[in-house]
Amino acid sequence: MTTLSSLLAQTSFSDADIVTLLGLKDPDDIAALREAAYSLTTVEVGDTVHYRGLVEVSNICALDCHYCGIRRGNRDIERYCLTKDDVVDAALWSAESGYGSCVLQAGERRDEGFIAFIESCVAEIKERSVSQQLPHGLGITLSLGEQTLETYRRWKAAGAHRYLLRIESSNPETFGRIHPPTQRFETRVAALADLGQAGYQVGTGVMIGLPGQTLADLAADIRFYASCDIDMIGMGPYIVASGNSMLDVGMMDPQALLGLSLRMIAVTRLVLHDVNIASTTALEALATDGRAQGIAFGANVAMPNLTPREVRQNYQLYQGKPGLDQAPAQQQSGLERSVEAGGRRVGWNSWGDPRHFGRRTAANSSG
């Protein structure tokens, strides 16, 4: 029988190996998994954690994803869209604070007004964030849902270079259960391919602990990331949201969910090596040091929330979202302490692009 230490020393893993690692229960075994993932992170992507200042541009959404707190059908929240000045100011705050990158996220809209609005925000952020520290301006990531190839190209031309679009679950049946029939699994997979074609560094991810999800499903999610040659992973625990239409099926026990989410980060690192993995805010809804724990288990990106505090309570994708009233500077010192307590450094004033992207594009151009 394979011992855990020999399993952790492997460089490739079968589906059964992945399921074994995801299902570890013994605290010593979990510590061994954490240490293996942490060391591999240091070797593969270095000892820095990169910040991306997150601006939640708008909670207006044309879609009705069953799990989501800002879905169209939730009538209990006030809808907002920040002004261009608010978006640009928040992004520039991240540049001045040394973050190197920002993320613009919003509910999904595909109308020309919104597309042009984002395009002009991106162009202005790019232009005004150029400095001695950031000679090419801020790195800009978008997380704005499924759009057409043409829209992806417009936003890229304006200056964005990374895009996050979660597959949510790579199991088409689970995907079908958590989305209305108008949202199709195949369309989402095609959107990820379009993003690659438009030249973005592409990120995806899943929600962990979805009702009915098995460890084999999570193993398949990791295989899905590999099959799309993904550069960045943003995945987090599924937490019920008020106004969500899946309340009746509940969610996993928070402690068990935290443990599973951390093991998923670690195993993804062991299998995929050189991708960027975010330690997402949702982890902090389960434990006050959730993001620090994510870093200890192999994540190398954190996304401090820079959304103006007046509207933050209206962007609650799930219940108990942390940091609703914390000022950016306050959050920053807390996060920095946890990064350093974990033996990592913050990668100030650099984009922190995923090494995987450099390698895959070099491989494509030489072969």
**Which residues contact ligand SAH (rule: CB under 6 A)?**
67-68, 105, 107-108, 143-145, 165-166, 168, 207, 236, 238-239, 241, 282, 317-318
Nearer to ligand SAH, 64 or 289 (CB): 64
With residue 272 as reference, give the H or E element that holds it.
helix 254-272
Q: What is the smallest separation between the CB atom of 106 and ligand SAH, expressed in angstroms?
A: 6
Nearer to ligand SAH, 36 or 144 (CB): 144
Q: What is the smallest separation between the CB atom of 364 and ligand SAH, expressed in angstroms?
A: 26
Q: What is the smallest separation between the CB atom of 342 and ligand SAH, expressed in angstroms?
A: 23
Nearer to ligand SAH, 22 or 278 (CB): 278
CA distances from 325 to 87, 181, 192, 203, 305 (A): 18, 36, 34, 28, 10
Q: What is the smallest separation between the CB atom of 348 and ligand SAH, expressed in angstroms?
A: 26
**In the chain, which ranges are E strands?**
48-58, 101-106, 139-143, 162-164, 201-204, 207-208, 232-233, 236-237, 276-277, 301-302, 345-346
Contact 316, 325 (CB under 8 A): no
Q: Which amino acid is at 43?
A: V
* Pairwise CA distance, residues 357 & 37, whole Å: 20
Give the helix, strand, coil percentages of the chain, each rounded to 5: 45, 15, 40
Q: What is the smallest separation between the CB atom of 167 and ligand SAH, expressed in angstroms?
A: 9
Nearer to ligand SAH, 40 or 265 (CB): 265
* Pairwise CA distance, residues 53 & 177, whole Å: 32
Q: What is the smallest separation between the CB atom of 213 and ligand SAH, expressed in angstroms?
A: 13
CA 41 to chain centre: 17
Partner residues linked to 203 by β-bridges? 164, 232
Nearer to ligand SAH, 120 or 245 (CB): 245
* Pairwise CA distance, residues 162 & 337, whole Å: 27
Q: What is the smallest separation between the CB atom of 26 and ligand SAH, expressed in angstroms?
A: 28
Nearer to ligand SAH, 95 or 286 (CB): 286
DSSP string, 63-116: ---TT-TT-TT-TTS---B--HHHHHHHHHHHHHTT--EEEEEE----SHHHHH
Nearer to ligand SAH, 219 or 241 (CB): 241
Nearer to ligand SAH, 237 or 352 (CB): 237
Find the helix packing angle between 149-158 and 185-197, rounded to 10°: 40
Q: What is the smallest separation between the CB atom of 300 and ligand SAH, expressed in angstroms?
A: 20
